[in-house]
Structure 1
Amino acid sequence: MANLRDIRNRISSVNNTQQITKAMKMVAAAKLRKAQDRMIETRPYASKIAEVAGRLVEYSEVSNPVMRKPETVKKVLFIVIGSDRGLCGGFNNNLFKEVEKQLHNNFQNYLDSDNLSMVTIGKKASAYFKKRKYDVIESFPGFFDDIQYDATSSIMETAIRQFISDEFDEVYIAYNEFKSVIAQERKVQKVLPIDTEKFSKKNSDNASEQAIDYLYEPNSQAILDRLLPLHLNMQLWRAVLESNASEQGARMTAMDSATENAKDLEKELKLKYNQARQSAITTEISEIVSGAQALSEN
């Protein structure tokens, strides 16, 4: 039977851990509310920009370098959005495994020829892919300590310049899309070149909008040139906000599970402690009775 002092110490340790996980759950819940608010505010703005750009592309004779479709894809860039901190369940590993699965299934020839590069956002993404010898050309650890639109747009503007200068022929974003507190959807989407067919499809879904004849001032080309970089910036900004909300939801769920597990373990230890204490008391009583009998016999 385990020593009573050891069991008491372990109960105390589990109780302390329980208090920590409970506090972390509450912190994650508070951060989740703020992250959700920012994410929900951004969604309609990003969607409307895509809708306006789609209308311009479909109903105007306009073009832009970011719409360039290369004859052959030679180099690919992946922007992977992870987190800076752990203790959030499978939030990071599930995304990273999905990215690796996509790479080995659809981009293996680019990996073999060293024509696939990565930009990682968050300490966990940087550490994971650098450790596995992927070509990480730029990393942004500590990015989520202070999430700023300017920092996000700077990353995308660099990717746009590299695409326009033919350094990369395709650019993808990998992130966790927020569905609910307990569910995130791992997404790998192509952002460059801009898929004009998707634009047209989204625009054709709304028949009433098609009937409107818009006038563009100064002209549709100037608006498109201004709108498409903004659309791409918003794509990455939205992905960052979705990832941040997903991270807080995953951490809240993980800490809730850890707290419940600590409670169960504490109950088991208390039961074990009571059994050990009862056994010790029984042993002491038996020894006292045996000693009393020995004295009476004498």
Structure 2
Amino acid sequence: MSNLSDIKRRIASVKQTRQITGAMETVSVAKMRKAIDKLEFNRVYFKTLCDIMRSVEQSATDDGDDCRAKSGNGKNMLIVFSSDRGLCGGFDHDIFRFAEKLCDEHTVIVPIGQIAGGYYKTRANADMRLVDFYKPEYSVAERIAEQLIEMYENGAQSVTLVYSELLSRSTYGPTALRLLPVITETDKANRACSIDLFEPSKSDIKKIITPMYVAGAVYGALLNNVAAEHCARHAAMSAATESADEVISRLSVEYNRARQSAVTEQIVEIIGSTAALKNQGAVNEKRP
């Protein structure tokens, strides 16, 4: 009977875990839909702003005031986004593996998010100043943009964002976006946005649009990463719930078999006892 008690206790424990994973799955669905809607609402703005910045940079002729590639041996800043919490499967580790492929001896890693902060905190080439800036808000993106522009102006060779891009409502994957220097198109036919006239000047326009471009790109990366994170957490909690159902089903079968075995054993004992009593009674009757 102790075995039955153990199995029954395990079933109750797994059912409690299933309730937790089921609730987290429901919450993840709601957060995922909200994040995806927010991303889709702002996607056109990100693309248009990026096209405008590339067009302006393509037409730039002033020396010393553009965001083109620098010469020298400055560090390559790799801005790695992660989640703030776990329970989302291999979401964060996929980003970290992807980022490792982009690292070399001239790379400085700037993690954003608590998971990335914990992962890179022992690295000698990690800059931890932006770990706590993981919120899908434009004001946060503006603060990150200020730090990135300052890094670039202080000698960084390049600034690249590494995050998980939402490809559809159920698929995502790590990607890299070189933010600074701005990648320009050499073929004008491939440029989505072309600006030939500048008022008051190219330099003034770039001073205004560069912070907007960097903040918009960072905000887009935040929204993509948050939406992908919720998709990953939903998939992980859904898989955990299904696994809990399988464990409950297996334990229920095991419990029923153990109970049937115990009942059978008791019946055999009763039959054996009854037979022994009958035999004892028969022996007593034969005695004089």
Whether TM-score is above 0.5 comes out as yes
Residues 1:170 and 2:154 aligned together: no
Output the TM-score relative to the length of structure 2. Answer: 0.89
User: How far apart are 1:181 and its partner, in Å?
Assistant: 4.1
Residues 1:190 and 2:178 aligned together: yes
| 1:57–1:139 CA distance, 2 compared to 1 (3 A) | closer
| 1:186–1:53 CA distance, 2 compared to 1 (3 A) | same
| Structure with the larger helix share | 1
Q: Which amino acid aligns with 2:180?
A: L
1:156 to 145, 148, 155: 145
User: How far apart are 1:137 and its partner, in Å?
Assistant: 3.7
Residues 1:218 and 2:174 aligned together: no
Q: What corresponds to 1:180 in structure 2?
A: 168
Q: How does 1:1-80 map to 2 (within 5 A)?
A: 3-59=3-59, 61-62=61-62, 65-80=65-80
State the alpha-carbon separation in 2 of the partners of residues 64 and 151 from structure 1: 28
User: How far apart are 1:267 and its partner, in Å?
Assistant: 0.4
In 1, are the aligned partners of 2:161 and 2:176 still within 8 Å (CA)? yes
The runs of 5 or more residues in structure 2 that have no matched partner are 281-288
| 1:58–1:163 CA distance, 2 compared to 1 (3 A) | closer
In 2, are the aligned partners of 1:153 and 1:233 still within 8 Å (CA)? yes
The runs of 5 or more residues in structure 1 that have no matched partner are 111-115
User: How far apart are 1:274 and its partner, in Å?
Assistant: 0.3
CA RMSD of aligned residues (A): 2.2
Residues 59-100 of structure 1: per-residue CA shift (max 9 Å, x gap): 464566452422233312111110111000111011111112
| 1:136–1:224 CA distance, 2 compared to 1 (3 A) | closer
Residues 1:119 and 2:110 aligned together: yes
State the alpha-carbon separation in 2 of the partners of residues 191 and 61 from structure 1: 20
| 1:138–1:50 CA distance, 2 compared to 1 (3 A) | same
In 1, are the aligned partners of 2:81 and 2:225 still within 8 Å (CA)? yes
Q: What corresponds to 1:113 in structure 2?
A: none
State the alpha-carbon separation in 2 of the partners of residues 287 and 237 from structure 1: 74
Bigger Rg, which one: 2
Q: Which secondary structure state, in structure 1, belongs to the residue aligned with residue 84 of structure 2?
A: coil
Residues 112-153 of structure 1: per-residue CA shift (max 9 Å, x gap): xxxx32221111000001145542341423733xx3212222
Residues 1:143 and 2:137 aligned together: no
